[in-house]
Amino acid sequence: MKTQYRHTKIIFTLGPATESEEVLEELIRSGADICRLNMAHATNEWCEQMAERVKKVGERVGKDIALMMDVKGPEIRTSKIEGVWELMVGEKLDIMMRGNGESKGGVRSISVNYPEMTEAVKEGDVILVDSGLVHLKVLEKKPDYIRTEVVIGGKLGSKRHINLPGIRVNLPALTEQDKEHIKIGAKNGMAFFALSFVREAKDIEELKQYLKDCNSNARVIAKIEDQCGLKNLDAIIEASDGVMVARGDLGVECPFEQIPIIQKMTVEKCILYGKPVIVATHLLESMTYAPVPTRAEVSDVAQAIYEQTDAVMLSGETSVGKYPVQCVETIKKVVAHVESIIPAKHNEGPLILSGKNKMLRSAVVLAQEIGNTGIMVFTRRGESIQKLSSLRPTRCPLYVFTDDHLLSVQLRLLWGVEPFYIKFFKDRNQTIEEAVKLLKERQYVIENDYLIVLTNILVSRKSIDTIQLRKVE
């Protein structure tokens, strides 16, 4: 029986619910492709321990899992307060730029870690606290505090996150804590770093330069989480190695009814630019506590698959949820069913200008016309693979072979790509034969199947790109 092939990839977030070797093994065997380490509440020691554990379990299972470190990035948070406050509609609340948040003239106050906030906001602006659960309206500004009125009330605890929708925030792309985390991540073989609250292309460039300084070849994923990032989306996509549609903060920063349109638009743009895209947050939120998803959640996951996102990501569902393995199984079931009813076709949208890229498209057309076949590609850099993946050839597995181990796990993010880490021989035909043998051993192909092989051959000492049709024997 052939190995079931899946085009859409699955990312899970590591946490207390999934730290044990036993659960990790179940997740990997269930089909998880990438493990995300969220550093918002993690330590360097935890990161090192978990990276080693994931690699160990992956080796035991026989599947290399890519590691992704999610860097917290710049954020505005409130100060620590005593207990929990109940904020009532119409109540005044002062936001202090400095000090300890003591009451001022009978008005309760909190302090924030962003002294320039008085310069950023203006009268009438709305400040969102705790993921938008509390809305504050700016009444007036003073040099050292902002007086606000509670528009939507609620409970306020310590160190709550603050959003300033549509307002340019003058914060560094990387904090000193982020840099310490990145050093540890680089040392422990992270394949990806996801940067939070990316506002412009230079944020990505800063992280890439820092990774070079850390001798890391990891790829950078830009998390789009606010209106500033959306405004500069094209430039961010070009500068990054991939994009994450972080719907949690986006749903706070933007009107919620716009989120489906933003998601669809971002996926389409990433496919056009040949960059991978991840849809994240609240995919199976109810399964944090329940063993089955809501029907709305199933439809949400299915929509992301129809849009042909490269990957879907689970957050709290697997980090702290009660049913992490069931969540991965649920995603896998939805993916399998949706992908099974999509007819054999490919995307004409991506920028295909060079002869090499047109050859990739020709290989896709040939594979789909023959049917029940896949495309074999050999690479050391992976650039052509991203173009091939962005064509989104349905019913057409992309078997990619490389002799670069880091690249092999990075390719695991790409739609439709099944990467293999193998030795390359001087004799190209020997390399191809070994690759076909590996596909047979793992039951991706059986005798009499056809494979489209993209490789180069030497003709009069010149390297010539070729498309070969091979029958599996």
Residues belonging to the active site: 36, 77, 223, 281
The CA distance from 320 to 352, in Å, is 43
Among residues 117, 108, 105, the alpha carbon closest in space to that of 145 is found at 117
Token pair 């991506």 is found at 350
| 309: number of Cβ within 10 Å | 25
The CA distance from 403 to 424, in Å, is 6
Cα 128 to chain centroid distance, Å, stands at 25
Residue 39: φ, ψ to 5°: -90, 5
- If residue 44 lies in a helix (H) or strand (E), which one and from where to where? helix 44-61
Among residues 110, 118, 73, the alpha carbon closest in space to that of 91 is found at 110
The CA distance from 354 to 230, in Å, is 29
Contacts of 263 (CB under 8 A, 6+ apart): 245, 247, 279, 304, 307
Q: What is the chain's alpha carbon radius of gyration, rounded to the nearest angstrom?
A: 24
Among residues 306, 307, 450, the alpha carbon closest in space to that of 368 is found at 450
Give 54-99 as a DSSP string: HHHHHHHHT-PPEEEEEE----EEBPP-SS-EEEPTT-EEEEESSS
Which two three-digit tokens encode residue 266?
A: 């971002």
Contacts of 409 (CB under 8 A, 6+ apart): 64, 65, 66, 67, 191, 419
Among residues 228, 232, 240, 305, the alpha carbon closest in space to that of 273 is found at 240
Query: Would you say how long the chain is, in residues?
Result: 473
Among residues 120, 73, 117, the alpha carbon closest in space to that of 224 is found at 73
- What does the DSSP 8-state code read for residue 424? P
Torsion angle of the four alpha carbons 348, 353, 354, 356, in this order, in degrees rounded to the nearest 10: -10
| 347: number of Cβ within 10 Å | 17
